[in-house]
Amino acid sequence: MVQWHPPEEQGIVGYNVYRADGQNAPFVKLNGEVPFTTTRYYDFGGSEAHVYMIRAVKAEQTPGGSYYNASQGVLALDV
C-alpha cells in the first residue's frame, strides 16, 4: 500500500499515481484519465522493488479557460 498526506492547498481534485520497476526505470501512470480521490493506493501487483510517484491534480481557472494542473511528483516506496 502506498499512502500520502493531502496538500493543504485548495482546489485539489485528486491524485495521479505512477509506478516504476526500479529507481532508474520509466514511470507508468496507473489511473488512466480520472485521478484517484483517496490518499492511498493498493497495488496488488506491486513488489518491494517498485517505486511510486504521486502528483496532486488541481483545478485551475484563468481568463482563458479552465484546466487541470498536476503538481511536481513526490516519490514513495510500497509499504
pLDDT in tens, the chain (79 residues): 899 999 998 899 999 999 999 888 999 999 989 999 999 999 887 777 799 999 999 999 999 999 989 999 988 765 5
- Give the integer Cα–Cα distance in Å for 11 and 60: 8
The pTM (predicted TM-score) of the whole model is 0.85
For residue 35, give the C-alpha cell: 485521478
Q: What is the DSSP letter of 55?
A: E
Domains annotated on the chain, with CATH: 2-77 (2.60.40)
